[in-house]
Structure 1
Amino acid sequence: MHRSKKVIIFSHCILNQNTVVNPLARAKGAYTSIVKKILDLDIGIHQLPCPEYLFLGLDRKPMGKEEYDSYEYRKVCRKIACMSIKIIKEYINKGYEIVGMVGINCSPTCSIRGERGILMEELFKLLYEEKIDLRSFEIPANYIEEGEKQDILRAFDDFLNNMTRQSKFIFP
């Protein structure tokens, strides 16, 4: 069997900047440098669906968290979070290592640190309820693929290479 049994959870737009609202895309397709680091370490990638795209499509206008924060949008995010928890639990139960989760800073949906985005609020709520501890990393809002900032790539290297605190069930 040719599996590393290592998986990382990615916010959708890290792999597909084409779904990012105009004019906020910061890479032509995927964040190539970030993705290459994952692939070089033989880590599988699980891409979360993009709730903004599912909810409003490609032609949506830029909106903040307050504008997205509605019952209907939270319902979309909660559905994605529930599906993702099932997947994460399956990986863990089958002996896979979830290397961590990567989000986007200042995203109304996928921000992890500071003011958490709506999808991440719903997902982390379920992770807490399921007693699952995931390491996390956030792509800074000012990261632009063409103007790569080496400090960001070094920080991501540190995140990937410091897998001593593996994601796990806190109380199995």
Structure 2
Amino acid sequence: MFFHKEGITVSRTRNLKVRVVAVAHCILNRSTRWWTEGKEVAEGPVREVLEALSSMGLGMIQMPCPEFTFCGNPRPPRSRAEYEELPGFREHCLKLARRTAEEIKTITTLSREPKIEVTAIIGVERSPTCSVNLIPFRVGGGFDYRVGLGIFMEILKHELEATGLNIPMISIDIHSPEEGLSTLKRLVKGRKSNKG
């Protein structure tokens, strides 16, 4: 903003900033999670996460669900390896990740005042596509969980880095979100103190 004072032009920047997070689709819309006959239908958002994000003053960008947009519902639960074996699924994730990275880049580039900062990418713990920490592996008739990125998050991380963005990624367990939300609170607090 410019203003004149006694013939002198002075530039004053207000440096307004807002923070947002990009969240896995099912955090805001649980009905896209895998579902088969006999499983209870999940509705609405994960309320604890929504309330926590609101209380931290964080806006939300909803990322697409790679599993739902490829398979729809009903669909069975699958491991990361089982999704990797589906013909065309990795390419589908790449297309969605590129679109998401471009959207985030556009939001951060075109927002001048207030400046929008994407504080974190929030994935879903134990998801074969959207986890940041633990991914499912098939063991007999069930699953075991090992350290790793989900397919979509792995590709999204690469696509964001290719556009020059290095955004922290965290996972939230939608059944018990406290630990993930605590991590996010520390991240938000740290970013606020680092920015002055």
Instruction: Quickly say closer, same or farther: Cα 1:116–1:153, change in 2 above 3 A.
Output: closer
Equivalent residue number for residue 170 of structure 1: none
Structure of greater relative contact order (alpha carbons < 8 Å, 6+ residues apart):
1
Measured in 2, the distance between the counterparts of 1:160 and 1:41 equals 8
In structure 1, distance between residues paired with 2:191 and 2:154? 24
2: CA distance, partners of 1:105 / 1:149: 9
Q: Is the Cα contact below 8 Å between 1:22 and 1:61 reproduced in 2?
A: yes
Within the alignment, does 1:47 sit opposite 2:62 as a pair?
yes
CA 1:41–1:58 in 2, change beyond 3 Å: closer, same or farther? Answer: same
Q: Is the 8 A contact 1:17 1:25 kept in 2?
A: no
Indicate yes or no: 2:69 matched with 1:36.
no
Task: Give the alignment partner of residue 169 of structure 2, picking from 129, 136, 147.
Answer: 136
Provide structure 1 residue ranges, at least 5 long, that are not aligned to the other structure.
167-172
RMSD: 2.6
**Deviation, structure 1 residue 128:** 2.0
What is the CA-CA distance between 1:19 and the residue it aligns to? 1.0
Unaligned runs of at least 5 residues, structure 2: 1-15, 134-146
Shift of 1:136: 1.9
Structure with larger Rg: 2
When normalised by structure 2's length, the TM-score is 0.71
Give percent identity, aligned residues only: 26
CA contact (8 A) 1:81 1:119 kept: yes
Which of 154, 162, 168 is equivalent to 2:190?
162
Q: State how far apart, in whole Å, the 2-side matches of 1:6 and 1:22 are.
A: 33
